Amino acid sequence: MRLPILATAALATGGLALATLVPAAASAAPKGNGDYVVTPILVKSPFKAGVSPKALPTPEQCLAAYGLACNTVDSIRAAYDIPATVDGEPAGTGQTIVIVDAYGSPTAQADLDTFSAAMGIPSTKLNVYYPVGKVAWHGTDLENNWAGETSLDVQWAHAVAPGATIDLVVSQVPKNQVMNNAIRWAADNLPATAISMSFGSDEVGVTGNSGQFAQTHTIFEDAAAKGITMFASSGDGGADDATGSSTFSSPADDPLVTAVGGTLLQPSAAGAPQESTWDDFTGCPFGCTSGVFGATGGAPSLDTAKGGSDVAYNASVYSGVLVYQGFSANPDDAGFYFTGGTSAGSPQWAGIDADLAQKAGHRLGNINGSLATWATAGALHDVTSGDNRTATFTGGYDAKTGWDVPTGYGTPDAGKLLSLVH
């Protein structure tokens, strides 16, 4: 999802210089250009390929050493009670998670293998599909952004549902209509349990383009009819995404898509996760050692009946997940990155959906109608503090008891969710 333009800087933390990407002066991207956008939010870690699982720090150790409470597969599983197995088989067995991205990554499989080895989990074969032909890789900044998104999506969908088949569908370009066609192709041609869409366009940029909303909604209607669950990230630029006025993100704004907002996940040794709404502008954590990165999206839709996010998930870079990237032309760039953004939540919720479908014995389809019931049963952690105001818009939205605009019904307790599905 889009943030202000990023610039490279260096941060000295705990005696170690970390390469970090921090927002420069706020600068909104051109509106109405017909593109879906991603900007993975990254801080380069000191960890390289071949690192032992035992050498990776806990969130508490990471915070003490680097000023960020980084998360591994083990710590995310512990925070959200995500099992490695369901009924004696790897979680997600028999299910298919589809990830749609533009350009893809030339090292997606190798990077997944490296990530899995470091996290101490088996890897899996990644199936890659090009609906209108294979995309030539040139290594441009735009392609690198999407490759970073691809790495995040593939690796963390697999982390949450290691038994699931992962299908990557690659659009030639991020133009809305072209990517919508890729989503349509995936829904029509693959046995998807869930489809993850970690990208978006500002509604203020596409409002008035009724054809865009009609096209995507028709796709989502057909997907729901087939029992496919659709997930999209709510955005990383707060309630206004640097536009100066309240705006949500498309396709997260569609009522048939589960919109995933973002939280800051506090390091905690045990018990229910301690989370607040992700907003570096109004609540930058841990001394704000790396600067302000962004805030969760979520706002009443300008174009649909959607009121904001449906659910939430860990998204702050300050509690980010480790992701391996090996696609850069510069070999010094290869390594693990502390990674954040609501883009991290969409594929992980898709993984949880695959785990639930395995348990239930069938695909769940659109889950939005079940969220209130799940919340009442205590299977969603209610996020009640923080907001998503920004430097360019003070009229953001507060978290509160029950459903709220930035974090929806909250974050998952996968163990309790598994006990509810049938």
What is the tally of structural domains in the chain? 1
pLDDT of residue 208: 58
pLDDT of residue 16: 42
Alpha-carbon span 149 to 171, nearest angstrom: 13
pLDDT of residue 251: 95
Domain range spanning residue 255?
6-420
pLDDT of residue 34: 73
Q: Is 203:249 a contact under the CB 8 Å cutoff?
A: yes
Q: How far apart, in Å, do the first and last CA atoms of the chain sit?
A: 34
pLDDT of residue 17: 43
pLDDT tens per residue, range 369-412: 999 999 999 999 999 999 999 999 999 999 999 999 999 999 99
The DSSP element (H or E) to which 80 belongs, if any, is helix 73-80
Residues in the chain, pLDDT under 50: 1-17, 19-32
Residue 159: inside a domain: yes
Considering the entire predicted model, what is its pTM?
0.94
State the number of CA atoms in the 13 A half-sphere of 383 facing the CB.
36
Alpha-carbon span 133 to 171, nearest angstrom: 9
Residue 218: inside a domain: yes
Q: Is 340:286 a contact under the CB 8 Å cutoff?
A: no
Alpha-carbon span 157 to 306, nearest angstrom: 25
Q: Is 235:1 a contact under the CB 8 Å cutoff?
A: yes
Count other Cβ atoms within 10 Å, centred on residue 188: 13
Q: What is the CATH number of the domain that holds 195?
A: 3.40.50.200
pLDDT tens per residue, range 88-103: 999 999 999 999 999 9
pLDDT of residue 12: 33
Tokens of 299: 């706002």
Distance between alpha carbon 331 and the CA centroid of its chain, in Å? Answer: 26
> Mapped to the 3 state alphabet, what secondary structure does 297-361 carry?
CCCCCCCCCCCCCCEEEECCHHHCEEEEECCCCCHHHCEEEEEECHHHHHHHHHHHHHHHHHHHC
Residue 66: inside a domain: yes
Look-up of token digits 């839709």: 301
Residue 298: inside a domain: yes
What is the identity of the amino acid at 95? Answer: Q
Strand positions, DSSP E, 130-286:
165-171, 194-197, 201-202, 229-233, 249-250, 258-265, 275-277
Residue 82: inside a domain: yes
Residue 1: inside a domain: no
DSSP 134: P
Residue 68: inside a domain: yes
Question: What percentage of the chain has pLDDT greater than the value 70?
Answer: 90
